[in-house]
Amino acid sequence: MAAGITIADLLEAKAAGRKVVAVSCYDYTTARLVAQADVDMILVGDSAAQLMLGHDSTLPATMDFMVAITAAVRRGAPNVCLVADMPFLSYQLGTSEAVRNAGRFAAEAGAQMIKIEATNAYLDVIKALSDAGLAVMAHIGIRPQHITKIGRFKAEATTAEMALEMIALAQQMTGAGALSLLLEGTAAEVAEIVTAQTDVPVISCGSGPGCDGQILIAPDILGLTTGAKPKFAKNYANLAELTVKAITEYANEVRAGKYPDRDHSYHMKPGQLERLNQLLSSSA
């Protein structure tokens, strides 16, 4: 895809059978690097509450925080299709507040699409955002904002009955105006059926290869995360080990007096040190 990727480009990719490459990241520096890697979409997810702030769930992410980091990512990646994640309680309290908050992502952060963790209880929200001129990505399957209610997550649509519910829910989402779907932790066979039956791009987050595109968070791609991670997460580098090694080397050089050296320091203009010493001597 060319620079300046739009939602229309994603719809064309779906129609042409071209895979959409999406990455989730949360800051300007990483976004600049991701944008150089020829990806189509960046999602600024509320998982930033965990990856950036150290919380044990996505729930503490606030609107102000999400708008700020989304704007930072847009500055770092001006030509990538940008999706902003609606945080907990930003859309659950009514359509008017949902439209107002979603509008902030478009007006203040330059987001092109708004993601909502949706059940059929939020079809009116999706319709309201769509009617307001905002593109919506409906996030179904595993929904991290429901952790308090559910307690723990498990793969979705693993039985025929659950699969029928998932397929129906996907149809309801697009019927309400969603222009894209994100399927998280859904059985691959069901995700493939949803993708085949849907006219909008379907992005897989751990939902198998049969979707129109795939998304991983940048820290997992780079090997920066530690501890347990989802089954679908794949590391393409081990930057955590390299980062610790680099910082350890820096610490050793500081303690040994090797850093900073002359080349990494600023210096007075030629002859000015001698003049300074003369001035100090005359004033003594």
Q: Is the pLDDT of residue 1 over 70?
A: no
Nearest to 119 by CA among 152, 156, 66, 81: 156
Token reading at 193: 């059926």
**Distance, CA of 71 to CA of 67 (rounded, Å):** 6
- Decide: 104 and 63 in contact? Cβ < 8 Å: yes
Structure tokens at 73: 């990512």
Q: Please report which confidence band the pLDDT of residue 147 belongs to, taking 50, 70 and 90 as the band edges.
A: low
pLDDT single digits (tens) 50-107? 999 999 999 999 999 999 999 999 999 999 999 999 999 999 999 999 999 999 999 9
Q: Which of 12, 161, 165, 184 is catalytic?
A: 184
Mind listing the domains of the chain with CATH numbers?
Answer: 7-237 (3.20.20.60), 243-283 (no CATH)
Q: With beta carbons less than 8 A apart as the criterion, state whether 69 and 44 touch.
A: yes
Dihedral, CA of residue 262, residue 268, residue 269 and residue 272, to nearest 10: -130
Q: Residues 13-30: what's their mean pLDDT?
A: 98
What confidence tens digit (pLDDT) does each residue in 121-139 have? 999 999 999 999 999 999 9
Q: Can you give the pLDDT at residue 229?
A: 83
Residue 148 has pLDDT above 90, yes or no: no
Summarize the confidence of residues 42-49 as an average pLDDT. 97
Q: Is 150 a residue whose pLDDT tops 70?
A: no
Nearest-angstrom CA–CA distance, 71 and 44? 10
Based on the residue annotation, tell me whether 184 is a catalytic residue of this protein: yes
Of the pLDDT bands very low, low, confident and very high (cuts 50, 70, 90), residue 230 is: confident
Whole-prediction pTM value? Answer: 0.93
Give the position of tokens 């952060």.
Answer: 109
Q: Would you give the DSSP letter of residue 88?
A: T
In this prediction, residues 249-276 reach a mean pLDDT of 97
C-beta of residue 59 within 8 angstroms of C-beta of residue 90: no
